[in-house]
Amino acid sequence: MQSHILFFIFWLLNFIAIFLLGLIFPNSIVLGTYRLSMVEAAIHAGFWLTFFVWTMKDYMTVRKVEFDPPFLRFICFFFINSFGIWLVSRCSQYTGLGIASYWWAFLLGGVAQLLQFVTWKLVGNKLKE
C-alpha cells in the first residue's frame, strides 16, 4: 500500500514539473495535441515517466544491482529519468509531450531526479517505517 502512495507522489511531482517547465519554456517543451490539453498531456507524460522509472527501479532491485557510493545511484537514475523523458516524448502523439532536442530530456530528467531524490529522502523512509 505504501509503495502506491509513493508512486502517486512521484507521478504528481513529475506532472507538476513537466507542466511548469512547459509553461516556462513553451518553444522547447510542447504540451498537448489536438486531442489532449496541456494539463492532460502533462498528466499522461508524468504517468508514463513515473511508470518507466518505477519499472527500472524494480528491475534493478530484482537484478540486485548495488551502488556502493549513493552518488552513483543518483547519477544512474538521472540517466534513467532523462531516457524516460526522451522515450515519452518520442510517443508525443499519444502522450502529448514534445521536446525540441535531447538536451531538454536531460534538463527534464535532472529536474525529475532532484524532485524524486528529495521526495524519497523526506517521504520514502517514513513510509517504510
| Domain positions in the chain | 2-128
Question: Longest Cα pair distance anywhere in the chain, in angstroms?
Answer: 47
Between these two residues, 127 and 7, which has the higher pLDDT value? 7
Closest CA to 29 of 40, 11, 42: 42
The pLDDT value given to residue 72: 92
Tell me the average pLDDT across 88-104: 94
pLDDT at position 2 is 77
* Residue 4 pLDDT class (50, 70, 90 cuts): confident
Question: Which tens digits make up the pLDDT trace of 57-91?
Answer: 999 989 998 888 888 999 999 999 999 999 999 99
**Per-residue pLDDT tens digits for 12-69:** 999 999 999 999 999 999 999 999 999 999 999 999 999 999 999 999 989 998 888 8
Of 32 and 125, which is predicted with more confidence?
32
Burial (0-12, 13-18, 19+ Cβ within 10 Å), 44? buried
Give the C-alpha separation, 25 to 29, whole Å.
Answer: 6
**Cα 4 to Cα 21: distance, rounded to the nearest angstrom:** 26
